[in-house]
Structure 1
Amino acid sequence: MNRLFNRLFLVATMIVLLLFVALWQWLQLNHEFSRNQIQQSLHQELAEHMAHINPLLSQGITSDAALKEAFHDFMLLGPSFEIYTLDPDGKVIAYDAKEEKIKTHRVDTGIIKQFLAGKNLPILGTDPRSQQTKKIFSASKLVNAQGLHSGYLYVIIGGEDYDSWQALINAENQPKIWGATIGFWVIFALLLFVILLHYFTRPIHKLAQDLTNLKTLPITEKLTLPDRYRGSLEIAQLSEHINQLLQEIQQQQQQVKRQQQAKHDFLLHLSHDLKTPLTALLGYIDTWLILPEADRDQALIQYAANSGQTLQQLLAQLLELAALENGQIHAQLQQVELTELLNGIEQTFTPRAKKLGVILNFKHINATSILTDPQLMRRILNNLIDNALRYTPSGGEITILTQQDFSQGKNQQWLAVKDTGSGMHQHEVEALRQLSLSQTDTPQQHQRSFDNNQALPQLGVGLAIVRQLLGLLKCKIEVESQPGVGSEFKIELVMQS
């Protein structure tokens, strides 16, 4: 029953049946009304003529036995009439019928008075042979020789015999009438159903054609349905929803392409990052193996070990980046003392910085409490400082400090990581800026920052991790860098309220 065809067929059938029943009842009532009106109009003066031509009735006699013979003669001439005399109160006095056929011995004289007063026909009166049925009649007022009202002559038009013959004829003709009527209505229902089906399914047919045409178009083109479904509100709404879905599909397809291109570029960068320490590791080992035992230098093994550690670090970062992208890491914000967090980082990187000949300065650190996830913030700073150590030559300097910005009525606290390394190109700086999420951004604004049509340039694995972690912490970052001069990363701190 959920199919449109079945629903339309059921609705059309029910409507046709209801119309048929209503029309049939109306025709029956109208036919009966018209027939009664015609019959009563034709025989309106019948009782008066009968009373005039009969000597006894003309003298106002209502109860003489001789009247029965007159009634019998009248009914032979008109077998569809039943004749009665009534007293002034409507009591039945004389009639030509068996006693057991009379069911009611009193007739409503009020109806008779309406008839004599010339009210609109048809007027239905009491049928003495039935306690419930009302029939059309003719009536005449009887007046005796003294001029007094002695009763009424009351004639039922279409009496018991008429009803019997009418029922017999109806029983014979009714199947034919019903058969012809049902056949007509079946044909009418089929025509109505075809018209309704064509009307209701025309928008669906157009929609199906348009969707078929869209299948032949490449997904790179702008896919949309034409606005021509005004015949049906539901189909028009459906076409609008389909257009919205098509736009979302195209946007997602474009985003998937950008992501695929970004992953491809990232894999190229990653393969280069992995290939460098792996090549060095294998080179040092091969050199150590081909040298005579007396000439083998332990420094080669140390260089190989360093390359292995670098490779291990890259693999660990790669796994961390995958966990971030899969949503397996969540931020747990809490109150953290900034000085304690930086003291731990200083202890971690100071030995390495001395070994590389790089000056590591933690200065102007304000003792303040911030709202952050200490683990995630430590990873961000570890990656930034590690990245600075790798690109800062011996004799260079890395500075970690806090800054405050009171310009334009602001009161912002920043944590900066500055180095004098090789710096970054402008497109890499823009990539990190666009992928950072500020503290005041909504998720919708953040999503739009990723929906630009141009694929963003790839960053290193460490900065890619920084990018993801900043998004979790909802921290804003500002980057200033020049190739050959150095870089500065400034992270806005969320203060504990």
Structure 2
Amino acid sequence: MNRLFNRLFLVAITISLLLFVALWQWLQLNHEFSRNQIQQSLHQELAEHMAHINPLLSQGITSDAALKEAFHDFMLLGPSFEIYTLDPNGKVIAYDAKEEKIKNHRVDIRIIQQFLAGQNLPILGTDPRSKNTQKIFSASKLINGDGLHSGYLYVIIGGEDYDSWQALINAKNQPKIWGATIGFWGIFALLLFVMLLRYFTRPIHKLAHDLNALKSIPMTENLTLPERYRGSLEISQLSQHINHLLQEIQLQQQQVKRQQQAKHDFLLHLSHDLKTPLTALLGYIDTWLILPAAERDEALIQYAANSGQTLQQLLAQLLELAALENGQIHAQLQRVELADLLSHVAQTFAPRAKKLGVKLNFTNIKSTQILTDPQLMRRILNNLIDNALRYTPSGGEITIFTQQELTNGQYQQWLAVKDTGSGMHQHEVEALRQLSLSQTAVQQDKLTFDNNQALPQLGVGLAIVRQLLGLLKCKIEVQSQPGVGSEFKIELVMQS
């Protein structure tokens, strides 16, 4: 029953049957009404004429014994008439029938008075031979010799014999009528079904044709269905949903292409980062091997070891970035003392900074609690400070400090990492400034960026920072100028 053909067929048959029953009932009632109206109109004055021509009735006599012979003569009019005399209260007095046939011995006088008052025909009155049936009639007042109202002459039009013959004829003709009617309504139902099928399936055919035409259009073009399905609300809504899905698919395809291009650029950038320490490592080792044993300098081995450590660090960062992108790392927010967190970072980088001749300052650090994941925050700071040490020359300075700013009537706490290194280019700065936390991204623990352009590459370290900030739902502000230095400011979530 879920198939469209079956549903349409069922609807057509149901509608046809309902229309057939309603029309048949209306025709029957209308035919009976018209027949009664014609019959009663033709015989409206029948009772009056009968009372006038009969000497007994004309004298107002209503007794059964006196009128038996008169009733017998009146029945010569035909078996379709039944004649009764009534007293002024409607009680049946005389009739030409067996006693057992009389079921009602009183006729409703109000109906007779309506008839005599000339109200619109047909008017149905009491049938003395039936308790539940009403029939059309003719009636006349009977006036005796003293001018007094002695009763009524009451004539049923279409009596019991008439009904019997009519039922017999109807039973004979009924199969023909029903056969012709069913045949007509069968043809009507078939035509209705064809019209409904054509009407309901026309938008579906159009939709199928338009969808088939989309196969030949490249996905790079604007794929939309034409707005020509107004004949059906459901199909029109379906076309709108399909258009919405097509737009989503195109946007996702464009996003996938941008991501593929970004990954391609990232891999090129990464290959350069990996190639530099690997080349240095192999170069120092090759130099050490080709030198005579007496001339081999241990510094070459140390340089090679440093290059190996750099290569190892890049590979570790690459694995960490892959874990972040795969959603394998989650933030576990808790209360953390900021001073303790920075003290651990200082202990980690102080020896390296001293060896490189870079001054590492932790100034204006307030003792306060923040809401963060200490492990992830340390990774962020480690990457920022490591990046600063890598690009800050000997004699330079790296400063880590906190500051408070008033924005829109509320204080914001920031943690800044500022260096005097080589700085960043503008396109790299914009890559971090484009970092935004939309509502969807926050719910999914992911970051969203401007989809209209590919992100410039930031290096593995800053790429990790970008992902970790997304997990912690922290904002970052970057100020940098080539040859001057960079400043990274991270907004802290304070623990109230």
User: Offset at 1:428?
Assistant: 1.5
Q: Report how far residue 139 of structure 1 moved.
A: 2.0
- Deviation for aligned residue 1:30: 1.4
**What is the SS of the residue equivalent to 2:52?**
helix
Q: Is the 8 A contact 1:255 1:451 kept in 2?
A: no
Aligned partner of 1:356 in structure 2 is: 356
Greater CA deviation, 15-24 or 284-293? 284-293
Amino acid at match of 1:467: R
Query: Displacement, 1:104?
Result: 2.2
Whether 1:112 and 2:108 are equivalent positions in the alignment is no
Residue matched to 2:344 = 344
Distance 1:121 1:287, change over 3 A: same
Q: CA deviation at 1:95?
A: 2.3
Letter in 2 for 1:6: N
- Structure 1 segment 252-331 matched on structure 2, within 5 A: 252-284=252-284, 299-331=299-331
Task: Tell me the CA shift for residue 291 of structure 1.
Answer: 6.7
Deviation at 1:382, TM superposition (A): 0.4
Partners of 1:474 and 1:33 lie apart in 2 by 84
Secondary structure of 1:453's match? coil
Q: How does 1:149-298 map to 2 (within 5 A)?
A: 149-284=149-284
2:91, 2:439 → 1: CA distance? 96
TM-score by length of 2: 0.89
Q: Distance in 1 between matches of 2:188 and 2:375?
A: 79
Per the TM alignment, residue 163 of structure 1 is displaced from its structure 2 partner at its CA by: 0.5
User: Which has the higher mean CA deviation after the structures are superposed, 166-175 or 52-61?
Assistant: 52-61
Counterpart residue number, 1:375 = 375
CA distance in 1, matches of 2:347, 2:373: 20
Deviation at 1:56, TM superposition (A): 2.7
Q: Deviations over 1:226-270 (max 9, x none)?
A: 333333333333333222222222211111111111111112222
Q: Which residue of 1 aligns with 2:439?
A: 443
- Following superposition, the deviation at residue 305 of structure 1 comes to 3.7
Instruction: Point out the more displaced range, 471-480 or 16-25.
Output: 471-480
Q: CA deviation at 1:361?
A: 2.8
**Contact residue 331 and residue 376 of structure 2 kept, 8 A:** yes
- What is aligned with 1:493? 492
Aligned residues of 2:64 and 2:93 also touching (Cα < 8 A): no
Residues 22, 453 of structure 1: alpha-carbon distance in 2 compared, 3 angstrom cutoff: same
Task: Tell me whether 160-169 or 86-95 shows the greater mean CA deviation.
Answer: 86-95
Letter in 2 for 1:110: R
Offset, 1:411:
4.8
CA distance 1:60–1:487, shift in 2 (3 Å):
closer
- The 1:161/1:407 distance shift into structure 2, 3 A limit, reads closer
Q: CA–CA distance in 2 between the matches of 1:63 and 1:96?
A: 12
Closer, same or farther: CA 490–92 of 1 in aligned 2, 3 Å: closer
Q: 2:86, 2:152 within 8 Å by CA — same for their partners in 1?
A: yes
Does residue 457 of the first structure (1) align with residue 456 of the second (2)? yes
Partner of 2:393: 393
Q: Quote the offset at 1:421 in angstroms.
A: 3.0
Could you tell me how far apart the structure 2 residues matched to 1:2 and 1:451 are?
Answer: 46
Q: Retained in 2: the 8 A contact 1:82–1:159?
A: yes
CA contact (8 A) 1:230 1:236 kept: yes
The residue type equivalent to 1:227 in the other structure is: E
Separation in 1 of the partners of 2:92 and 2:346? 128
Q: Aligned partners of 1:75, 1:448: CA distance in 2, in Å?
A: 105
Residue of structure 2 in register with 1:91 after alignment: 91
CA distances 1:429-488 after superposition (whole Å, capped 9, x unpaired): 2212223x4xxx543698996233221111111110011112222333232333344333
Q: SS of 1:222's equivalent?
A: coil
Q: Deviations over 1:200-231 (max 9, x none)?
A: 33333333333233332211112223333333
Tell me: CA distance 1:106–1:289, structure 2 relative to 1, closer, same or farther (3 Å). same
**CA-CA distance at 1:134 after TM superposition:** 1.0
- In structure 2, do the counterparts of structure 1 residues 488 and 116 end up closer, same or farther at CA, with 3 Å as the change threshold? closer
Q: Deviations over 1:118-154 (max 9, x none)?
A: 2222121222211111111122222333433333222
Q: How far apart, in 1, do the equivalents of 2:44 and 2:27 lie?
A: 25
Q: Does the CA-based 8 Å contact 2:44-2:138 persist in structure 1?
A: yes
Residues 383-412 of structure 1: CA distance to partner in whole angstroms, max 9, x if unpaired?
A: 111112223334433332334556998854
Q: Which moved more, 1:115-124 or 1:464-473?
A: 115-124
CA distance in 2, matches of 1:57, 1:34: 31
TM-superposed deviation, 1:9: 3.0
- Identity, in percent, stands at 87
Give the residue type in structure 1 aligned to 2:180: A
Secondary structure of the residue aligned to 2:137 is strand
Counterpart Cα distance in 2 of 1:155 and 1:361: 127
Q: Classify the secondary structure of the residue corresponding to 1:329.
A: coil
Q: Cα gap change, 1:370/1:66 in structure 2, threshold over 3 Å: closer, same or farther?
A: closer
Q: Who is 1:469 aligned against?
A: 468
Q: After the TM superposition, which residues 39-58 of structure 1 pair with which residues of structure 2 at under 5 Å, given as runs? A: 39-58=39-58
1:418 touches 1:487 (CA, 8 Å); kept in 2?
A: yes
- Contact 1:86 1:151 survives alignment (8 Å): yes
Q: How many positions carry a matched residue from both structures?
A: 493
Q: Which amino acid aligns with 1:493?
A: L
The alignment partner of 2:135 has SS state of: strand
Distance 1:396 1:111, change over 3 A: closer
Stretch moving more, 1-10 or 372-381: 1-10
Q: In the aligned structure 2, how far is the partner of 1:123 from the partner of 1:493?
A: 96
Q: Aligned equivalents of 2:71 and 2:405: distance in 1? A: 125
- Which position in structure 1 is the counterpart of 2:31? 31
Task: State whether residues 438 and 448 of structure 2, in contact with CA within 8 Å, keep that contact through their aligned partners in structure 1.
Answer: no
Pairwise CA RMSD: 2.9
Cα offset, 1:279, TM superposition: 4.0
Task: Give CA-to-partner distance per residue, 1:155-197, whole Å, 9 cap, x none.
Answer: 2111111111100111111122122222222222232333333
283-292 vs 31-40, which moves further: 283-292
3-state secondary structure, aligned to 1:152: strand
CA 1:451 to 1:199, structure 2 compared with 1: closer, same or farther past 3 Å?
A: farther
2:478 paired residue number: 479
Q: Per-residue displacement from partner, 1:81-112 (whole Å, max 9, x unpaired)?
A: 11222333333333222222222222223322
Distance 1:45 1:492, change over 3 A: closer
SS of the residue 1:151 aligns to: strand
Q: Does 1:21 align with 2:17?
A: no
